[in-house]
Amino acid sequence: MAQSGSEVAAGHDLATPGTPMAPPAARRFAPGGLVRFIPVVVLIVFALWFGSSQAQNRAWLPLGIEFFYIAAAALGVNILLGYTGLLSLGHFGFFVAGGYAGAIFTPYILGGILGVNAPWFGFIVAFAFGALLGTLLALMCCHLRGFYLTVVTLAFGTLIPAIITVASAQLGGAGGRSVDKFPDTTNFLLARGNALAGIYYVAVIFLFATIFIVWNLTRSRWGRAFMAIRESELAARSSGVNTYWYKVASFALSAGIVAVAGWIGALRYLSVSAGSAGNVSTQSFRYLVIIVLGGIGTIAGPVVGAIGITFGFGLRWVQEHFREYNGLLFGALGIIGVATAPEGLVGNMRKAVRDFQRKQVQKGRARVRSVVVPDLPAELTLPRSRSLGSDDTPMLEVTGLTKRFGGLSALSELDISVKRGTVHALIGPNGSGKSTFVNVITGIYEPTAGRITVNGEIVNDLSTHKRNALGIARTFQNLQVWRRMSILENVMVGAHSRSKGSLLRSISGLNWVEERRIRNKAWGMLQFVGLAEKGLAEASTLPFADQRRLEIARALASDPSLLLLDEPAAGLHPTEIHELVALIRRVRDAGITVLLIEHHMDLVMGLSDTVSVIDYGIKIAEGSPEEVRHDRRVIEAYLGTDEHV
C-alpha cells in the first residue's frame, strides 16, 4: 500500500504476464510526453505549407479546404460513433442543415430582425442550429437500442432533402439556394486578398479547434462517460451516468461540429443544397468509411482517413482512371477496409508499435514504462453512510418485494432488512433470484410490487444513476468492465456521481483541477484493491480475478453507503477467494455496508454477520451463519439442487 509518491512500473499491456516488473528508474516508454504532439505539429506545418504554396492553385486549394472541413466533420461523427458507440447514418443531414442555417439565419435573423451585421456569427449560428437539431433527433431516438437508433438517423437523413423540396420557395428545392451574405475572408490570416485562401484558413482553424475539443473531451469526465456507454451501458448507468442525457449530449456535440463543417462547405461553393436522399446517405456513409479506414475511436484516425478520401480521390490519376467508377472504388474500399482491418490504419499502427515494444521488453532491450502514483493516504476515506440517517435505520430495507417475469416469479414477497455497517449475505441456489434482487435494488428492473428503502429513503421511483448518487454501488456477476478503457479510467468513471464539470468545461479543458482530484481518488481506490501498479494498462489485459477487483474499486469510487457484490467469488481460485474475503473485510471496516450475493455457503460463513437464504424467490431462512447452516429447509433446498452446502 505504501507506494505514495514513488514510481511503480505500469503498462501491463507492454509486459507479458509473468515478466518481472522493471525497476522504477526505467522510463523508456514513459506515457504521455511531447512525442504525442508530433502529429499535430506535422499537421500545422502541412497546413501552412499547403496554404502558401497552393494559394493560387484552383484544383488543389479547394481540395485542401475540403480536407480540413471533412476531417473535422469526421472527428465530429467519431464522437458519436467511436467514443459513444452509436451509429448514425444521417449525419450529412446536419452538414446540410448547418449550411442552410448559416445562409438564412445569419443575414435574416441576426441582420434583418436583430439588426446585427455580423457575418462571422454564421459559425455560431450553424453550430447552435446543428446542435439543436441533433438534440431534437436524439431526444426521440436515444432511448432506442442498437439498430433502431440507426434507422431513425437514416430516416432523418432522408427527410432533409424532402423538406428542402417541399419548402422550395425558401430553401431553393433540389437545386439549392445561393449564399448571398457571407463573411469577408479576403484578408483572413494569411489569405493576402485571396478569398478562397481565406476560407482555407477558416477550415484549418476549424479542424484544429475540433481536435482541441475532442482531445479535451476524451480526457474528461464527459468523454469517459461516453466511452463507458460504448463499452457497457448497463455498467455506466450503475456507475451514476445518466446515459440517456449523455447520449443526447454526444449527439448534439457531434451534430454541431458537422453543421459548422456544412457552413464552411457552403462558403466554399457559395451555395447550399442537399441533393437527393440517396446523396445524403452516401455522404453520411462517407464519414463512416473515413473513420473506419483511418481508425475508429482515435483522433488521428478520422484525419488520416480524410486525407485519403479527399487528396487521394483528388489526384489527377485517380480522377482520370476512376471518374466513372468513383462509387465502385469507394464501396470496395469500405468493404475491404472494414473486413480486413476494422481497427483502421491508426489502430493497426498503434498495435504494431505496442507489439514491437512488447518484443523489445521481452528481449530485455527495453523496460516497461513507469508511472508516478500521486501521494495518497492508504486508507479509504470514510463513506457518507456515517453521516446519513440515525444508526439504527437499516441501510437497506425491502418489504413485500416481488418481481415477475411473465408467469415466473423471480422474487416473491421478500422482506429483508440489512443493518448498517454489516456484511449481509444473500444466498440461494442457481436461479433462485439473487441477481434479480440486485437488479431490482439498483433500478435496472422495476419491481412488480414492494417497497425499497435505502437509508430511510424510498427509492422505488429513482432511476439507476440516481440510486448510485444516493450511495448504492454494485458489481456484476457477469463482469461488466469497460474493456477498452484503461484500468484507471474505469475507476474514474466510477466516481462519476461524486464529480462535477459541465460539457463546456470538459471540452475546453478547464476542468483540470477537478480531473486531477478524480484521478487521485481513482489511484487511491486502485491502491486499496491492490491494482495501482497496473493502472495505465487497458482493462481487457487484466486477468479475470483482477477484473473482479477492478469492479470493486470502480464501485468504491462512488463513495457508496451500500455495496452490492453479485457473486464476487465466482470463477476464482481458493487463494484469490482468500484475498477477496480480506478485501471485503477491509471494505466493511471502512464503514460500508456490504450485501454479499453468494451461491456457495462456505464463503459467507466466516465473513457475514447475517445470512438470508432464498429459493425460488422466496425467503426460506435468515439468521447468523451458524443458524442458517443447520436449517432444515436450507439443507433441503441445496440438496435438492445437487449443490454442496
Task: Closer to ligand ADP by CB, 216 or 435: give it.
Answer: 435
What is the C-alpha end-to-end distance of the chain, expressed in Å? 36
Q: How far is the CB of 354 from ligand ADP (least distance, A)?
A: 38
C-alpha span between 266 and 278 (Å, rounded): 20
Q: Is there binding between residue 434 and ligand ADP (CB under 6 A)?
A: yes
The continuous run of DSSP H or E covering 44 comes out as helix 38-53
Task: Closer to ligand ADP by CB, 441 or 557: give it.
Answer: 441
For residues 446-476, one letter each, b for 16 or more C-beta atoms within 10 angstroms of the residue's C-beta and e for the rest, the string is ebeebebbbbeeebeebebbebbbbbbbbbb
Q: For residues 599 and 570, is the Cβ–Cβ distance under 8 A?
A: yes
Q: Is there binding between residue 430 and ligand ADP (CB under 6 A)?
A: yes
- Got the DSSP string for 327-387? HHHHHHHHHHHHHH-TTHHHHHHHHHHHHHHHHHHHTTSS---EEEPPP--SSPPPPGGGG
Q: Is there binding between residue 198 and ligand ADP (CB under 6 A)?
A: no
Task: Closer to Mg ion by CB, 160 or 604: give it.
Answer: 604
Q: How far is the CB of 314 from ligand ADP (least distance, A)?
A: 53
Q: Is there binding between residue 435 and ligand ADP (CB under 6 A)?
A: yes
C-alpha span between 219 and 208 (Å, rounded): 17
Choosing from 141, 253, 395, 410, the residue that interacts with ligand ADP (CB under 6 A) is 410
Q: Interface residues for Mg ion in 430-449 (CB under 5 A)?
A: 434-435
Task: Closer to ligand ADP by CB, 201 or 437: give it.
Answer: 437
Choosing from 84, 254, 412, 436, the residue that interacts with ligand ADP (CB under 6 A) is 436
Q: Interface residues for Mg ion in 472-511 (CB under 5 A)?
A: 477
Length of the chain: 645
C-alpha span between 556 and 472 (Å, rounded): 10
410 binds, among ligand ADP, Mg ion, none (CB under 5 to 8 A by kind): ligand ADP
Q: For residues 506 and 223, is the Cβ–Cβ distance under 8 A?
A: yes
Interface stretch with ligand ADP, choices 285-293, 374-382, 404-412, 454-462 (CB under 6 A):
404-412
Q: Is there binding between residue 433 and ligand ADP (CB under 6 A)?
A: yes
Choosing from 11, 428, 524, 560, the residue that interacts with ligand ADP (CB under 6 A) is 428
272 to 12, 104, 109, 165, 276: CA distances (angstroms): 51, 10, 18, 13, 13
Task: Closer to ligand ADP by CB, 135 or 436: give it.
Answer: 436
Phi-psi region of 406 (alpha: psi -120 to 50; beta: other; left: phi over 0): left
Q: How far is the CB of 638 from ligand ADP (least distance, A)?
A: 13
Q: Is there binding between residue 480 and ligand ADP (CB under 6 A)?
A: no
**Count of beta carbons in the 10 Å neighbourhood of residue 643:** 14
For residues 345-377, one letter each, b for 16 or more C-beta atoms within 10 angstroms of the residue's C-beta and e for the rest, the string is bbbebbeeeeeebbeebeeeebbbbbbebeebe
Q: Is there binding between residue 616 and Mg ion (CB under 5 A)?
A: no
Task: Closer to ligand ADP by CB, 430 or 575: give it.
Answer: 430
Interface stretch with ligand ADP, choices 220-228, 300-308, 434-442, 635-643 (CB under 6 A):
434-442
443 binds, among Mg ion, ligand ADP, none (CB under 5 to 8 A by kind): none
Q: Interface residues for ligand ADP in 513-532 (CB under 6 A)?
A: none
Residues that bind ligand ADP (CB under 6 A): 405, 408, 410, 428, 430-436
Residues that bind Mg ion (CB under 5 A): 434-435, 477
